[in-house]
Amino acid sequence: MLRPMPMKHVRLLTLTEALPQASLALAETESFHPDDRPPTEAQLSALPGHVYRERYSQAHSRLDKITRLIPIAPATGIGQIRVVGIEELGALDDWLGKLWEEASGYEEDLHRLDDEDRLVREQQAALQNFAHLNIDLGMLRSKTRFLDIYVGMVPRENLRQLEGAVGLAGYLLHVYMQLDDSTHVVILGPTGAQESKLGPVLSAAGFQSLPIPEELDREPAELQRNLDAKRRSIAEQRQSLQQSLTAWAAPHTDRLIEARHTLMLAEPLVALDPSLRSAGHLAHLAGWVPARAVNALRQRLSDSLNGAFELSVRDPLPEERLLVPTVPVKSRLLAPFAMLVNQYGIPAYGEVDPTPLFALTFLLMFGSMFGDVGQGAVIAGAAWWLRGKLGRFWPFGLMAGLSSIGFGFLYGSIFGYEHVLPALWMSPLSDPLLMLSIALVWGVVFLTVACLLAIYNRLAVRNWPDAVFGHHGVVNLIFYLSLIAGSLQLGRGQGFGTLPAVLIVLSLSALAVHSWRHLEAPVGEKILVVFIETLETIIGYVSNTLSFLRVAAFSLNHVALSIAVFTLAGMMGTFGHVLTVILGNVFVLVLEGGIVMIQVMRLQYYEGFSRYFSGDGHAFAPIRFRRGLS
């Protein structure tokens, strides 16, 4: 499952007039990924599908706009498959154009009503700031000769300060509404010299002026009644217009459904357009096909074109590796893990597909770090319950929950209780040193496998120098395993050992010599770069291995958090105990569960993928019939 699906490059030669039929055959098999490169033959330079695509694009756009006004039932299948010629496509485009001319009038009327409704809602929103002022708002907006009027908002905590300051300036402050943390006020005072002093006072208190729109020139209660009446009138007009639109659309619905079906049949040829080339009556088309699907494709083309075609098949060339698409994982269980892998990148053709390994190691790490039967059951149950909303991602939550349940039985933990279930193994806190040792062993195995995959990927594309001397290549792996072997002997009190020490020196020397030979710089700079790279190799592998201690650390932390919850619950009465245990488990599920998920992803991406996974490929996207317009 780790190896990518073998692909073949196919080249189809057929009659130009048979291209629509050929495109339907390719779409039916769902196995042809177009190759947009022009053919090597210079005479194959014409673009036979260009006019067809223009007609399709215009008809598609018009149908899309019409169906936004006239909803039609979603397509349940592709229906009868037939060739759609350019004449039929042109006639359909013309009919849709005339229909849109009629429909656009309804759209304009609906937009006009939307604009009117939005204006009324904006006026109502502005009126909310003055709803408690039972006076003519036109008086507040107009300037008077002897009186200054300020209407606005001030933070509630600054109200007392502002009230005293405006009082000293000879002004009056009236509070007419409290809204959240803001206070709506009216400030009145005589015009004159004190007006210049009021500005800094208002600014210091955080006063925000509320301008009164010109439309609001009457009492708020009267205005609100008028605005409500306007909205009711607009709603009635919209309902009447919608009824007229429905009556007008009824005779056209069946033909619109037929139009959608016609465009669905025309789309494969349009999708192939960038890849099509022709010379006279001969058309050329190339693409990538899974090796196991070539015979089925040949048979379908033979049935469709009555043998009037030539299909040549070859293996991808080495220089085409980055052009070959990668077929995604088809397993329903692995699909959510493939989505997470694709967040990092898509495997290039020839690379190992990390999805199965990623799924296995992810579940093992998550379960070991978050092992609890009850909490795992909640995760699995929530994923099952929300499977409609989670879509293809729900198996991920289900399997993560099941992994947590499995390790929960090993640890003997259910909702944090350690003595209800007999542990099949032991609680992590029973022997923390053993847990840390297991985490280190896990890290060594994980990093070793990552290096082996990196070596394999480079050998698969015949990149021998990087397979041997590159980052995480053969020499790096020899150094790492020698370092681990020597460290184990040292931990047992047997000394570091001669063989591990010799292998470490030789591997580091080989890496240094390789780096020296490939550097173009002054001697002093070469020495510095080689020294830093050698030191980085040593520190990198040590720190990467120690990173896996977090696997044990979070398994211990999980138990410690449960102990803290039960310690707190023990200080409560019966009701308080139950409530604390429930809230504590929710806290652990949400907070620690999220953190554990992040930590596992970090180990996968940084310690794993960064070693062996380039992620610079592109996904297999075959020509197929789409079941909709968008």
Name the 3-class secondary structure at 505. Answer: helix
Greater pLDDT, 49 or 624: 624
In which band, very low, low, confident or very high, does the pLDDT at 2 lie, cut at 50, 70 and 90?
Answer: low
Which candidate, 268, 313, 305, places its Cα nearest to that of 289? 313
Task: Kindly tell me if the per-residue pLDDT of 44 is higher than 70.
Answer: no
Percent of the chain residues topping a pLDDT of 70: 92
Say if CB 569 and CB 581 are below 8 A apart: yes
- Contacts with 298 (C-beta within 8 Å, 6 or more apart), sequence order: 311
What are the tens digits of pLDDT across the range 456-514? Answer: 888 887 888 889 998 889 999 999 999 999 999 888 888 888 999 999 999 999 999 98
What are the tens digits of pLDDT across the range 78-132? Answer: 778 888 888 888 999 999 999 999 988 999 999 999 988 887 886 776 666 666 6
- Contacts with 422 (C-beta within 8 Å, 6 or more apart), sequence order: 412
| Alpha-carbon gap, residue 295 to 291, rounded angstroms | 8
Average pLDDT, the chain: 86
**H/E element, 286:** strand 282-290
- Residue 311, strand partner residues: 12
| Alpha-carbon gap, residue 343 to 605, rounded angstroms | 10
The residue count for the chain = 630
Distances in whole angstroms, Cα of residue 213 to Cα of each of 129, 137, 141: 11, 9, 8
User: What is residue 630's predicted lDDT score, i.e. its pLDDT?
Assistant: 45
The whole model's pTM is what?
A: 0.74
| Alpha-carbon gap, residue 485 to 498, rounded angstroms | 11
User: What is residue 479's predicted lDDT score, i.e. its pLDDT?
Assistant: 94
Say if CB 327 and CB 471 are below 8 A apart: no
Name the range with the highest mean pLDDT among 22-31, 125-134, 211-220, 365-374. Answer: 365-374
Say if CB 156 and CB 132 are below 8 A apart: no
**H/E element, 549:** helix 549-569
- Identify the structural domains of the chain with CATH numbers, from first to last: 7-99+248-326 (no CATH), 131-211 (3.30.70.2750), 336-616 (no CATH)
Please, what is the Cα angle at 118 between 114 and 124, to 5 degrees? 145
Rg for the chain, CA atoms, rounded? 36
What are the tens digits of pLDDT across the range 277-297? Answer: 887 788 888 999 999 999 999
In which band, very low, low, confident or very high, does the pLDDT at 180 lie, cut at 50, 70 and 90?
Answer: confident
User: What is residue 194's predicted lDDT score, i.e. its pLDDT?
Assistant: 62
Direct distance between the N- and C-terminal alpha carbons of the chain, in angstroms, rounded to an integer: 34
Percent of the chain residues topping a pLDDT of 90: 39
Greater pLDDT, 26 or 145: 26
| Alpha-carbon gap, residue 109 to 71, rounded angstroms | 18
User: What is residue 184's predicted lDDT score, i.e. its pLDDT?
Assistant: 82
